[in-house]
Amino acid sequence: MIELVVVIAVISVVFFFAVPRIGGNLLVDPKRRVSQWMLTTVPALKDRAVREQKNYVLQVDIGEQRFRVSSAEPPVDSTVTDTAMFGTLMGGDGDNATDGASREDKLPPFALPESIRVDSVEFPGPAGMVSGPAEIVFYAQGYSDKALIHMQDAAGRPFAFLIETFLPQVRIYEDDIHFND
CATH match for 31-173 among 1.10.10.10, 3.40.30.10, 2.40.37.10, 3.55.40.10: 3.55.40.10
Structure confidence at residue 90 as a pLDDT band (50, 70, 90): very low
Give the per-residue pLDDT at 78: 38
Residue 96 pLDDT greater than 60, yes or no: no
| Cα R_g (the chain), whole angstroms | 20
Helix (H, G, I), strand (E, B) or coil at 156: coil
pTM for the model: 0.68
Sign (positive/negative) of CA torsion 165, 169, 170, 171?
negative
Residue 34 pLDDT greater than 80, yes or no: yes
